Chains A and B, each alone.
Chain A
Amino acid sequence: MNQILVIAWREITRLRKRFGGGASPVAVLLLMGAVGLSAFALRDTVSLGSGLYRVGVSGDVPVIEDSRFSVMEVEADGGRALLDSKSIDVWIDGAEVISRPDDKSQYAVRALKQYMEKAELIRVGNSFAEEDAFPLRVGINYLNPYQPPAENQQEGGETVAPVTKPEEVIIPSLTPPPAPFTQVLVALIYILPITFISIFFTSSFMDEKVNRRLTILLSSPITPFQIILGKMLPYAVFSLATTALIAVLTKGDVALALAIFAPTTMFIFAIYLMVPLFYRTFKDTTFIAMLVTTLTTAYLVFPAMFTNVNDLAYISPLALAVKMYRNEPFGWREYLFPSVPMSAIFGFAMFAGTRLLNEEFLMGYKPITRKAADAIYLMMAHAHPYLSVPLWSLLVIPIVYLTQVVFLAFATNLPVGLILGAVLIASAFIEEAVKSVGIVVLAERKVVTRFRDILLLSALSALGFLVGEKLLLLISITVVSQASVSSALFGSGLLLLIPLAAHFIFTAIVSLLAAKTKMPYMLALVIGTVAHFIYNWTLMGGGL
């Protein structure tokens, strides 16, 4: 513990030196200026389409203050000509709105409709008594569609069914239908600083790797685990402090926000720990960091947009934050659903980090695929392949799971008919890859050579994967009641033996082809994927 703190302190000193002196006031000023200005400039340009429409007005027209419209005064007799020459998209002549039939003009009309609706509401609300201006109240009640009040109806006496929640009274024009946009944006504010801070973590790691300070540290009596944890500690504490600060500023529940975002912070740090381990030059790091940032942000934001629409939204902790801001309760299972895979990935990354943090691996200059193979070899305790292979298959399940979700997001680009097929192929590919890669790496290093051993390892790997898969399925089924997608991804065969046999056969095919026939691993993987896909497809066809 003491040593971890020593490393952490050293890291803080390093940061202070780096940003102390000349650059510091400039940086702080720039930071504050940039944040303040962006908040100010973007406060009312959150709408799309800034500056897209030109509107001509003549006569008595309310002031249009919307970044989408550029408004100009036109003469009452010149408006038509300007409209026809496409100099303006819409002409508002008093209470009348004149447009062209073409698309651009019609888009402008719709945008104008949205704006005017709001503007008129404000005008009406300010100039008339409230009961006249807002004459309609809608009391919304909810009925449980699955529990009709059965007994009374059978007797013929008709009774009104009990409502499930207290009545909610709304004024339609003032109460937009529920959409989590704003809350998702607020929740996103939490992610940005964490990402920013973890980039510094990566940068520092990279820097020490390049100037070989890490090598010196490694030769001292400190374990790699202590080094990683110590270097991570200041940044992690800083991230959590920012999270608490944001929660205070946005009037959220600080303890709850910390509980929600602690696994997310660990997840982001886990990913950023991998970057400097695998890449050598700064340029690589810049780009990989960018890629990682976009992917993780997408992964976190996308599901949260569908909070309350689909329970699958809970794979992102942002969905929990959205719930928090709406003062809606959520249970332990909803909390664990995103948090367990993220924490598991962190644990896995820490394990990988301690295994990979040695000079040979850090300084070796090899193509990334070779580097990955080295990494997997180092992570497998290669003395006990019969233990490490199934364990590997079991432990990478959360990663497989998250990758498949990202695939799903990608696949939504495709035409509807292709989505399922594409997701199935991608899932089959990633599953086959993780199950066989350990065996192939071991075979390549001659740790296992015999036909029989490879077959046995394939069986063990399939078993490990299946156990992990079913465990995850158990968690997700209890949370995600309606997510048929999830069960399609993870298979829902009732008999465990059939999927086990299937997993075994595909893994054996890939491993044997790659290890014994000297076929390129990629090609072997494609063959295994095709077989797996056909199996999944027929299984789903039978199920449907």
Chain B
Amino acid sequence: MSPFWAVVKKELTSVIRDRTIIISLLIQLFIASFSSALLLGMLSLYDSDTIMRFSGAGIKIGMVGESQLSAFVRQRGLTVVPFDSLEEAEAVFFQNGVSAIFVIPEGIADTTEIKLYLPDNEAVSSIIRMVVQEPLKQFENYLREQNGIEVRYEDLKGKPSTSFEFIYSVLLPMLMFFPAFVSGSMSVDSLTEEVENNTLQTLLSAPLSLNAMILAKITSSVIIAILQCMAWLSLLRLNGIAFENTGWILLLALIVAGITSTAAVLGAVLLKDRERSQFIYSLSLLAATAISTLLNASPITTMSRLAVGDSYTSGWNVAVFAVFLAGLYLLLWKTSRRLAG
């Protein structure tokens, strides 16, 4: 075995032996499942479509007075109970017959002030306010039309898109790029440990150049990252989440892992101690994310687009990042001798 691969193998076995990788996997699994749970919980409390699906018809709304609003509330899937007066409606309300009461005054003027009576219980009242929001908006648009104001695009429907957007723009990029982030962090530890334990000189006495040794460290952390990405992709597939361009997605994840590791090592070469290198590494990652978003060349967006099969995104978009990686590595190649000196 060449000395290069010997170093790679040493790095890989040390990662497996330390069981740090298990913790890393645990973190990712936790973040993924936690954020999904959070989204699901939020949707079931704050998304009227989800509330309607689970408990829509069970919500009864009392209606005093006649207006177009009744029709809109029914359209939403809620049950409307008409009353003649607020007193009657309240009697039923206190027997739990209706959950809320609308009072529409006689004769609709230019500005209509209607009343809504809700139970003084934040959990129930916020759910009701959520589900009557859409009918109220429709009623408002109806009144606008009466005033001669036309509101465009008001009849759009579509399907609730939150889960779709979450999976492709948050969950998938996070699972693909978090291993890259960890890889960089591991490269810093691995290199600064050699420096701080004074084992670097020993390592260099092997028939291996400094640059080859550094490349071996980067390679091993990229290998670890890409293995994790593969595992996450299969897990997503098992959960029935479909995505396209699997090959490009993996290549992009690999390149980004290369970029973070190279950048992390570059920082470690310049600073030589762990504490500062990790600090600078985290900060530059934050800055890089912001800059790439600003320049409209964010790998996160590219990843989402690849996964949903966007027809204007292809291997060329991935190639941009490869060029950047090459440049960054060249920089490291030129500066690495500062480590030995």
Complex CA gap A308/B275 in Å reads: 41
Quote the shortest CB–CB distance from B27 to chain A (angstroms): 5
Q: Contacts A50-B169, A135-B111, A282-B274 given; indicate if A288 touches B290 (C-beta within 8 A).
A: no
Among A177, A305, A413, the most chain B Cβ lie within 10 Å of the Cβ of A177
Q: Contacts A19-B276, A106-B159, A120-B151 given; indicate if A409 touches B116 (C-beta within 8 A).
A: no
- Contact partner of B165 (CB less than 8 A), chosen from A111, A288, A309, is A111
Q: Indicate if A80 sits at the interface (CB-CB under 8 A).
A: no
Kindly supply a per-residue 1/0 record for chain B positions 282-325, scoring 1 wherever the CB is within 8 Å of any chain A CB and 0 otherwise. 01101101110110001011001100111110000000000000
Segment of A36-44, A348-356, A421-429, A442-450 engaged in the interface with chain B? A36-44
Q: Indicate if B9 sits at the interface (CB-CB under 8 A).
A: no
Q: Contacts A34-B286, A42-B290, A142-B120 given; indicate if A203 touches B140 (C-beta within 8 A).
A: no
Are B27 and A291 in contact, with the CB atoms below 8 A? yes
- Contact partner of A37 (CB less than 8 A), chosen from B30, B113, B290, is B290
A-chain residues with CB within 8 Å of residue B111 when the two chains form the complex: 131, 135-137
Q: Can you name the residue of chain A whose Cβ is closest to the Cβ of B129?
A: A177
Q: Indicate if A331 sits at the interface (CB-CB under 8 A).
A: no
Complex CA gap A353/B185 in Å reads: 28
Kindly supply a per-residue 1/0 record for chain B positions 101-136, scoring 1 wherever the CB is within 8 Å of any chain A CB and 0 otherwise. 000000000111111111111110110011001001
Are A52 and B293 in contact, with the CB atoms below 8 A? no
Quote the shortest CB–CB distance from A389 to chain B (angstroms): 31
Interface residues on B, range: 35 or more
Are A107 and B159 in contact, with the CB atoms below 8 A? yes
Q: Can you name the residue of chain A whose Cβ is closest to the Cβ of B118?
A: A142
A-chain residues with CB within 8 Å of residue B137 when the two chains form the complex: 117, 172-173
Are B287 and A143 in contact, with the CB atoms below 8 A? no
Q: Indicate if B90 sits at the interface (CB-CB under 8 A).
A: yes
Could you tell me which B residues sit within 8 Å of A by CB distance?
18, 20, 23-24, 26-27, 30-31, 33-34, 36-38, 40-42, 45-46, 85-88, 90-91, 93-94, 96, 110-123, 125-126, 129-130, 133, 136-137, 139-140, 143-144, 146-149, 151-154, 156-162, 164-166, 168-170, 182, 185-186, 189-190, 192-193, 271, 274-276, 278-280, 283-284, 286-287, 289-291, 293-294, 298, 300-301, 304-305, 308-312
Q: Please name 12 pairs of A and B residues whose Cβ atoms are closer than 8 Å in the assembled complex, sorted by A.
A: A41-B291, A48-B166, A50-B300, A52-B168, A68-B165, A70-B312, A107-B164, A111-B158, A134-B140, A141-B115, A172-B137, A204-B275
Report the 9 A-B pairs with minimum CB-CB distance, sorted nearest first. Answer: A49-B165, A109-B158, A110-B158, A148-B94, A158-B87, A107-B161, A37-B290, A172-B136, A48-B165
Could you tell me which A residues sit within 8 Å of B by CB distance?
18-19, 23, 26-27, 30-31, 33-35, 37-38, 40-42, 45, 47-52, 54, 68, 70, 85-87, 95, 97, 99, 103-104, 106-113, 116-117, 120, 124, 128, 131-145, 148, 153, 158-161, 163-165, 169, 171-173, 176-179, 181, 200, 203-204, 207, 281-284, 286-288, 290-291, 294-295, 298, 301-302, 305-306, 308-310, 409-410, 412-413, 482
